[in-house]
Amino acid sequence: MQLSLRRDMRDTFVVVGVYQRWKQLSVVVPRCRRCRVGHRIEQSVFWVLVGSAVLLGLMLLAGALAWAKLWELALVVLWVVAWLLLWWGVRQHWFRWPFLAPKPERHAREHPGVQELVADGWQHFPARP
């Protein structure tokens, strides 16, 4: 994961406002084992969701009238909705499973290399000066 840091901000006053400049540094934070496993779980759930949605679309395209009175179509729709909720829950950290990956920004900011740079005066880039 790549994290952007900045420092040495300078303000230059111009006629219509303030022009800001700063030094920027990009730090690559390696993924730990927990992050690799967690992101692999998230990607697997996503691709099962995509495959299920494609199957549902093909079923509806191929013969919606033939499936209209049967419960199989309703079961496939419920299957897709269940995988959608599971995928969304994994991405939004609704589940407190220990093997899911932490939120990337929080985990990257706790990396020892990033902490050393912050102690030297670098700031996280999305933060306003």
Q: Residue 6 falls within a domain, yes or no?
A: yes
Say if residue 40 is in the same domain as residue 21: no
Same domain, 51 and 2: no
Please name the helix (run of DSSP H) or strand (run of DSSP E) that holds residue 51, with its range, or none.
Answer: helix 33-67
Q: What pTM does this model have?
A: 0.57
For residues 44 and 80, membership in a common domain is answered with yes
The token pair at 113 is 């290399």
Does 93 fall in a domain?
yes
- Asked whether residue 45 is domain-assigned, the answer is yes
Residues 15 and 53 occupy one common structural domain: no
Whether residue 5 contacts residue 127, with contact meaning beta carbons closer than 8 Å, is answered with no
Structural domain count, the chain? 2
Same-domain pairing of 75 and 95: yes
Residues 54, 86, single domain; the answer is: yes
Do residues 49 and 84 share a domain? yes
101 near 37, Cβ under 8 Å? yes
Is there a domain that residue 105 lies in? no
Bridge partners (DSSP) of residue 26 are 4
Per-residue pLDDT tens listing for the chain (129 residues):
777 888 888 888 888 888 888 888 888 887 777 778 888 888 999 999 999 889 888 877 777 666 666 777 777 788 889 999 988 888 887 887 777 766 656 677 888 888 898 899 888 876 554
Q: For residue 19, report the phi and psi dihedrals to the nearest 5 degrees.
A: -105, 125
pLDDT at 67: 62
Q: Is residue 95 part of a domain?
A: yes
91 with 52, same domain: the answer is yes
pLDDT number for residue 98: 75
Query: Do residue 17 and residue 41 come from a single domain?
Result: no
Q: Is there a single domain that holds both residue 79 and residue 93?
A: yes
Q: Look up the domain containing 55 and give its range.
A: 35-100
